[in-house]
Structure 1
Amino acid sequence: MRRLLPFPVFAVSLAALWLLLVGSVKPGSLLLAAGFGLAGGWMLVSLTPPDGRLRRLAGIPRLLGLVLVEVLRSNADVARIILRRGGWQPRRSGFVRVRLQMRSPYGLAALACILTTTPGTVWVEYDSVENTMLLHVLDLIDEEAWVGIIKDRWEARLMEIFE
């Protein structure tokens, strides 16, 4: 039964939603609603996330505190760059490719969220074959320094939690 209807509540909800949208309970509408419910449940199986678990919960509060401090500091830095008095000084923005050791999909997602919510940086792409990420930095002064920040400050802590 689980194979036919992997997510029964979702399937019934989707069918009911369809019937509400159509505004009819004619046999054709019921058949179509049942088809949408079954198909939606089967499609949802492909979106089921992989199994994962947190290894060290004690590192989470420290990581969250560090992220909060980094976001505030980066906000101030970006504001300083934008509002700098004395005229506009050209900034060198650029891309940095970082080879990662972390393989946990949850750790990689957390790293992407951290880097993207930090002003001045954006996670651009991830190459799963080479296990590298591409990061865009607003004020790129030293590429090696950014690689060190990613690996030492973020990846090491996330690996501690997720791997």
Structure 2
Amino acid sequence: MTRLFNWLLPHPAMTLILAIVWILLQNELTYGMAVFGLILGVVIPRLTAVWWPDRPTGFKIGKMTSYVLLVMWDIIVANVQVAWIVLTRPNSKLRPAWIIIPIDLRHPEAITVLAGTITLTPGTVSADLSNTGHCLLVHALDAPDPDAVRDEIKQRYETRLKEIFA
């Protein structure tokens, strides 16, 4: 039964995401659109499964949902903070910094999510990943304490991603 489930849904998270995105793109929730979204959500990952040989197997969708909500909240807060910085501080008072963040994540998908999270949050951008995949170079718009920024990224995002992609 498990083999059938894994064959039918090689990437369950992608199935769910594709179905939801399809419904959002149609801008209406009808049974027909939901069923067609689910069909796309099953067919597309099945057809592309050969290009996902090392997909994470212990992916936790519940923890990912809370992670997405956390990131959305952080994006809102960072937008306000960056707007405040831009509107109230002259450029000479900004303290930009390049920060090297050592990462413990090993799944390429988890590293991609971390880099994307950093880039999506206003005020920071992921600039480079080391050749070994063990360090991420991040630029921060205003970082009076670069070590605190590094520690916050590791504690707030990387720790959660390690749990999600266990």
TM range (shorter): 0.5 to 0.7
Q: Per the alignment, do residues 91 and 67 of structure 1 end up closer, same or farther by CA in structure 2, a change over 3 Å counting? A: same
Letter in 1 for 2:94: R
Give 1:50 shift. 4.0
Structure 1 residue 70 and structure 2 residue 61: aligned? no
SS of residue paired to 1:74: helix
Map residues 102-121 of structure 1 onto 2, 5 A cutoff. Answer: 102-121=105-124
Contact 2:97 2:146 in 1 (8 A): no
Map residues 1-150 of structure 1 onto 2, 5 A cutoff. Answer: 48-53=51-56, 54-84=58-88, 90-129=93-132, 131-150=134-153
Alpha carbon RMSD of aligned pairs, Å?
2.0
Higher-helix-fraction structure: 2
Q: How many residues matched?
A: 117
Structure 1 unaligned residues grouped into runs of 5+: 1-44
SS of residue paired to 2:61: coil
Residues 47-93 of structure 1 deviation map (CA, whole Å, 9 limit, x = unaligned): 934421343222011101100110000000100011117x6652010
Give 1:139 shift. 0.3
Structure 1 residue 160 and structure 2 residue 139: aligned? no
TM-score, normalised with respect to structure 2: 0.65
SS of residue paired to 2:51: coil
Give 1:128 shift. 3.7
Q: Per the alignment, do residues 88 and 129 of structure 1 end up closer, same or farther by CA in structure 2, a change over 3 Å counting? A: closer
Letter in 1 for 2:95: R
Deviates more, 1:125-134 or 1:73-82: 125-134
Cα distance between partner residues in 2 of 1:50 and 1:126: 22
- Find the structure with the greater CA-based Rg: 1
Letter in 1 for 2:103: L
What is the identity percentage for the equivalent residue pairs of Structure 1 and Structure 2?
31
Letter in 2 for 1:129: T
Cα distance between partner residues in 1 of 2:83 and 2:133: 35
Cα distance between partner residues in 2 of 1:132 and 1:88: 29
TM-score, normalised with respect to structure 1: 0.66
Cα distance between partner residues in 2 of 1:89 and 1:83: 13
Q: Per the alignment, do residues 51 and 143 of structure 1 end up closer, same or farther by CA in structure 2, a change over 3 Å counting? A: same
